[in-house]
C-alpha cells in the first residue's frame, strides 16, 4: 500500500514538474493546432497562408493583468497583422474554477472589445502545456519559414502592466520589428507578467 502511495506521489510529482517547466523554448519548432474560436468554428495556424509569423498570447477574461493588457494586444494586431504577424489569443484557464473564463464569456468579451483576432479556447489545456505557458498573458512570437514555425520570443508584452503610457520597453514589438527587418531579436525572453494559468484539478 505504501509503495503504491509512493508511486502515485512520484507520478503526481513528475506531472507537476512537466506542467511547471517543460514546453517550447526560444528556438523550438512549434507544431500546429486546431482550437475552437469565438469567430470561426476552429482556427489553425495553417489557415494563415500569407503570415510571416504569429504573435500568440495565452490570455483570459478574469485576470487583472490580462484585462490591463487587452487594449495593447488589440493594438499589436492592428499594427502587425497587416505586416504578416497576426495576433492569436488562446484562453487555457479551467472554466470550472473560473466561470468568467468559460467559452460563452469569451464570446461576450471578444464582442465587447471588438477583437480583430481569433480568441481560441484551449479547453484541454494541451496547448498551454505544449507551449510551456504558465501565465495570462504569456506571449510567444513565432516566425514562419515555409511550413516551419520557430519560437523567437517568450515572455511579457512590455515593462509596465499598470500604465501603458509609462512603458519604456516594448518587448514584443521589438521582437517583431527585428524579425520584419531580418535582424536577430535582441531580447528573446523575459518573465511573463500575469496571473498563473488555472490548471484543471
CB of 108 to other proteins, least distance (A): 19
Q: Which is nearer to other proteins, 34 or 105 (CB)?
A: 105
CB of 194 to other proteins, least distance (A): 8
Q: Which is nearer to other proteins, 122 or 158 (CB)?
A: 158
CB of 52 to other proteins, least distance (A): 26
Residues that bind other proteins (CB under 8 A): 62-64, 68, 97, 134-135, 155-156, 159-162, 168-169, 190-196
Dihedral sign for Cα atoms in the order 34, 46, 91, 191: positive
Cα separation, 170 vs 166, whole angstroms: 11
CB of 24 to other proteins, least distance (A): 16
- Cα dist from 109 to 103, 126, 141, 161, 194, whole Å: 10, 23, 23, 20, 18
Q: Which is nearer to other proteins, 50 or 163 (CB)?
A: 163
What are the φ and ψ backbone dihedral angles of 13, each rounded to 5 degrees?
A: -60, -45
Cα separation, 160 vs 182, whole angstroms: 27
Amino acid at each position: 500500500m505504501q509503495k503504491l502511495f509512493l508511486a502515485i506521489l512520484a507520478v503526481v510529482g513528475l506531472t507537476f514538474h512537466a506542467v511547471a517547466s517543460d514546453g517550447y523554448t526560444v528556438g523550438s519548432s512549434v507544431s500546429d493546432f486546431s482550437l475552437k474560436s469565438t469567430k470561426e468554428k476552429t482556427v489553425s495556424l495553417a489557415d494563415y497562408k500569407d503570415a510571416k509569423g504569429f504573435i500568440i498570447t495565452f490570455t483570459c477574461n478574469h485576470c487583472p493583468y490580462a484585462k490591463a493588457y487587452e487594449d495593447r494586444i488589440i493594438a499589436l494586431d492592428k499594427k502587425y497583422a497587416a505586416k504578416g504577424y497576426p495576433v492569436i489569443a488562446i484562453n487555457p484557464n479551467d472554466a470550472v474554477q473560473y466561470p468568467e473564463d468559460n467559452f460563452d464569456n469569451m464570446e461576450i468579451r471578444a464582442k465587447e472589445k471588438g477583437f480583430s483576432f481569433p480568441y481560441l479556447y484551449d479547453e484541454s489545456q494541451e496547448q498551454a502545456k505544449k507551449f510551456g505557458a504558465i501565465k495570462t498573458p504569456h506571449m510567444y512570437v513565432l516566425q514562419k519559414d515555409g511550413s516551419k514555425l520557430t519560437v523567437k520570443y517568450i515572455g511579457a508584452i512590455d515593462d509596465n502592466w499598470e500604465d501603458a503610457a509609462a512603458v519604456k520597453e516594448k518587448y514584443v514589438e521589438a521582437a517583431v520589428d527585428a524579425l520584419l527587418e531580418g535582424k536577430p531579436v535582441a531580447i528573446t525572453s523575459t518573465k511573463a507578467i500575469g496571473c498563473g494559468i488555472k490548471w484543471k484539478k
